[in-house]
Structure 1
Amino acid sequence: MTPLSPAICALLCFTALTVVLALGYVGYRVALVLSFKAAANSWTRGAASHVDPAIVTRVQHAHMNCIENLPVFATVVFIAYAMGQLALIDELAMVFIGLRVAQSAVHVINTNATMVFIRGNLWLAQMSIIVFWLYQLYAAH
């Protein structure tokens, strides 16, 4: 068995993080439904019909943020793979996933101004790495 490249490992980690966050808030909701404390249709998109605890809402928002950003990262990894240039992504892949995990953790911990500032900077660092990778991949073609 060949070892995973750091880029592929980071992609798997990002995907796993997204799934874990989803299970975090969906698990809470399933427990409410199974215990007859809420109807299965209590959570509708765009309508505040059920009030979740703040931590559950923050986990959901962290999950949605992953959903928004995972396709961008996955696209860069897949393009690098298709070009035979995964080594360009490997250099910073673990830094990227570390920033992503930190951003999600900060998102779940609190939404005060300081934490939102930290979270925004973690996101900006990730986007800077993405831009750097895009430049490298373009230059490598």
Structure 2
Amino acid sequence: MTATTALIGFTAWTLALVALAVTWRVIEVLRGKPANSWTRGAAIESPGLVKRAEHAHLNCLENLPIFAAIVLGAQLLGKMALVDAVACWILYARIAQSVVHLISTHPLLVLVRATFFGVQIALFAYLLWNLAA
């Protein structure tokens, strides 16, 4: 898997998570709930899975620009082979983090999720260090 493919996969995963939350809202509207009943900034009563999907989506948005900047930087520096070597692991760690988040927020699973997050951060740091060298 190339870094570009992994970046596209990361982006697709981010969109899939938001689609999960949006699907719930669409179903609610089809059931008769007014479309404007979700006031911006107000607490929303949504099922746990939907709330976790929203949070997993926001977590993806935190790292997606970092990953994109690293891939772009590697491309501009002519060092894509470096990023290609580990990009799939960044994607796998992101998907694993999100799946664990969707399953539960049990304290043990939060630690598992944090481990997958740590893998991503460590790989970002490794790539930045080596791109700067």
Same-fold call, TM > 0.5?
A: yes
From the superposition, tell whether residues 97 and 134 of structure 1 become closer, same or farther in structure 2 (CA, over 3 Å).
same
TM-score (norm. length: structure 1): 0.90
Give structure 1 stretches of 5+ with no counterpart. Answer: none
Look up the match of 1:65: 59
Q: Is 2:104 aligned against 1:90?
A: no
More relative contact order in 1 or in 2 (CA 8 Å, sep 6+)? 2
Give structure 2 stretches of 5+ with no counterpart. Answer: none
Q: CA deviation at 1:41?
A: 2.1
Kindly report the root-mean-square deviation, in angstroms, between the aligned alpha carbons of the 2 structures.
1.1
How far apart, in 2, do the equivalents of 1:94 and 1:106 lie?
18
Letter of the aligned partner of 1:68 in structure 2? E
Structure-to-structure mapping, 1:1-141, within 5 angstroms: 6-36=2-32, 38-48=33-43, 50-139=44-133
How far apart, in 2, do the equivalents of 1:9 and 1:61 lie?
24
Q: CA deviation at 1:132?
A: 0.3
After the TM superposition, which parts of structure 1 deviate over 4 Å for at least 4 consecutive aligned residues? none
CA offsets per residue over residues 40-85 of structure 1, 9 Å max, x none? 222233311x311101100111011111110111110011011111
TM-score (norm. length: structure 2): 0.95
How far apart, in 2, do the equivalents of 1:43 and 1:79 lie?
39
Task: State the identity %.
Answer: 43
